[in-house]
């Protein structure tokens, strides 16, 4: 494990959908709640609350909640180019970027989380925990966009399962 990179990771998936649909899935509250979150809210100092069906701009704040979890996340959207790239803070001061690319008839999604601290708690909870969580949610994004099936556990009494 001495050569293991604890400070970043990337996950990649191909989805049978066009880039615009996948981009919307990451940048509209109403779409994020279909595959990722129980509640997604965005706001900015200049615009106030971002409407539920509107694409988010860069430099807005977010507050996210998940089903069957007491954890919530607050952060900042760092970049949102309106077509194929998004980045935001996550898990404290970490940075997550989403890069979309059309490959044949599919959209390639590459998620990278970086700037992960190297203390033991961050190694376990952020590097390993987030890598596990993002893997499930990318698969759920694929499932929802390709077939409409949401794989998330929404039962608050069933905790510690792979799908929440």
Domain residues of the chain, as ranges?
9-147
The contacts of residue 115 (CB under 8 Å, 6+ apart) are 7, 8, 93, 94, 95
The pLDDT assigned to 21 comes to: 98
What is the band of 98 on the pLDDT scale with cuts at 50, 70, 90?
Answer: very high
Q: What is the pTM of this model?
A: 0.96
**In the sheet where 106-114 sits, what is the strand order?**
9-15, 106-114, 94-103, 85-90, 72-80, 61-65, 39-44, 48-49
Q: How far apart are CA 105 and CA 23, in angstroms?
A: 16
Question: What is the SS3 assignment for 130?
Answer: helix
CA angle 24, 80, 28 (to 5 degrees): 30
Q: Classify residue 151 as left (phi > 0), alpha (psi -120 to 50) or beta.
A: alpha
Query: Does 3.30.530.20 match the CATH number of domain 9-147?
Result: yes
> What is the tens place of the pLDDT at every residue in 125-139?
999 999 999 999 999
Looking at residues 29-55, what average pLDDT do you find? 96
């Amino acid at each position: 494990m001495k050569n293991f990179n604890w400070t970043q990771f990337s996950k990649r998936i191909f989805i049978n959908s066009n880039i615009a649909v996948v981009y919307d899935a990451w940048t509209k509250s109403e779409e994020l709640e279909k595959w990722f979150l129980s509640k997604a809210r965005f706001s900015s100092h200049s615009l106030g609350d971002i409407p539920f069906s509107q694409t988010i701009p860069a430099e807005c704040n977010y507050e996210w909640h998940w089903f069957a979890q007491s954890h919530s996340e607050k952060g900042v959207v760092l970049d949102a180019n309106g077509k194929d790239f998004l980045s935001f803070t996550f898990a404290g001061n970490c940075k997550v970027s989403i890069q979309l690319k059309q490959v044949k008839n599919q959209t390639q999604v590459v998620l990278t989380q970086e700037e992960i601290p190297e203390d033991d708690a961050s190694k376990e909870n952020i590097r390993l925990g987030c890598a596990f969580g993002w893997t499930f949610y990318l698969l759920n994004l694929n499932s929802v966009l390709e077939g409409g099936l949401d794989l998330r556990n929404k039962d608050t009494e069933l905790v510690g399962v792979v799908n929440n």
